[in-house]
Amino acid sequence: MTTDTGWGDGTRCVHGGEPERVGGGPFMSSPVFASAFHLGGDDTYGRSGNPTWRALETALGELDGGECVLFPSGMSAISTLLRSVLDAGDAVVLPSDGYFLTRKYVAQELAPLRLDVRETPTAGPWPDLTGVRLVLLESPSNPGLDVCDIAGLAEAAHAAGALLAVDNTTATPLGQRPLALGADVVVASDTKAVAGHSDVLLGHVTVSDPDLAERLRSARTVSGAIPGPFETWLAHRGLGTLDLRLARQAANAAALHAALRDHPAVTGLRWPGAADDPAHELAARQMRRFGGVLTFQLAGLPEVERFLARSRLINASTSFGGLHSNLDRRAQWGDPVPEGLVRLSAGCEDTDDLVADVLTALS
């Protein structure tokens, strides 16, 4: 079922990708586990198509404003995009402060292509894009939460003949619509906020060009990088509450920012939703709403361990965007950041409980 584009975020999340109404039928599509199908319809084999995929792709495509292709993880989505777009010797621009596995994948797995890899910080300055095939950015960046001018970079990329892809995982499809700002591609890890319950690995690519969408589907089929129908169904079920979860997570992030702004144990506090954040002015222009992820620094590893030991609500986890608040010390994964830099993902706990718990853990 295609939803009315004039509807609000909550309505689109609840009704996106639902089946046509039939008396006695379910509200939502059920997961289709078949690997083989009777020939003559849309599906022939489980690696090339599945109605459960199409239901979620319809919902996410409507939220992103383009044509969506699902993958079994966020990295599968990014790696398939890179392989589908880049040829030997092409130039690609990557964020030097974005998700570290993207840089690692290009450096290791795409090394035979001898790409011209140019890295730049999210906040810029961005290099001359002459001769570049693909610009991949992440805004807000993970873990630093810096923001870049998507519309401005889209204009510069297109003038140079390049494609612009935006990793929208931190912002979510409700927080930001890069395609509407001029980007050609949106990629995201739906493991995070879209599924929202820390029980699924999934990712997607949404594009404005139907030909590129078909190339991505073909690459998915040929490579076998396909999502499981049950995981897809779980993510679709989770999507229904994305609007509600984001509202609570953003409220919790705002309250935590206010509580930590002047705390003596905390430095380098970042949340683009705060009026005094360096990225706020630009973020407010291009983001529709702010999420629940904050970044800040404690003095070092012992202080992070002490914080986690004292907290009753904060889990040590490397994912984010779920119901449970969690904290991740990014240096342990290879990010070039200080030992005490942490990313805190505010969950859906009661705001007063969460703030009190964090302050107690820091005391």
Contact 205, 80 (CB under 8 A): yes
Catalytic, out of 103, 133, 177, 192: 192
Neighbouring CB atoms inside 10 A of 44's CB total: 13
Catalytic, out of 47, 118, 306, 310: 47
Radius of gyration over alpha carbons of the chain, in Å?
Answer: 20
Contact 227, 236 (CB under 8 A): no
In the sheet with 67-71, reading across from the earlier edge strand, the strands are 67-71, 203-207, 185-189, 163-167, 132-138, 91-95, 116-120
User: Among this protein's residues, is 199 annotated catalytic?
Assistant: no
User: Among this protein's residues, is 99 annotated catalytic?
Assistant: yes
What is the rounded distance in angstroms from the CA atom of residue 323 to the CA atom of residue 345? 9
Residues 197/200/202/206 CA torsion (nearest 10 deg): -30
User: Among this protein's residues, is 47 annotated catalytic?
Assistant: yes
Catalytic, out of 9, 43, 149, 167: 167
Catalytic, out of 12, 99, 328, 330: 99
Contact 201, 73 (CB under 8 A): yes
Interior angle at CA 163, CA 73 and CA 136, nearest 5: 45
Give me the half-sphere count of Cα atoms (radius 13 Å) on the Cβ side of residue 99: 23
Which H helix or E strand runs over 357?
helix 351-362
Instruction: Please give the biggest Cα pair distance in the chain.
Output: 67
Q: SS3 of 296, please?
A: strand
User: Among this protein's residues, is 330 annotated catalytic?
Assistant: no
Contact 59, 154 (CB under 8 A): no
Catalytic residues: 47, 99, 167, 192
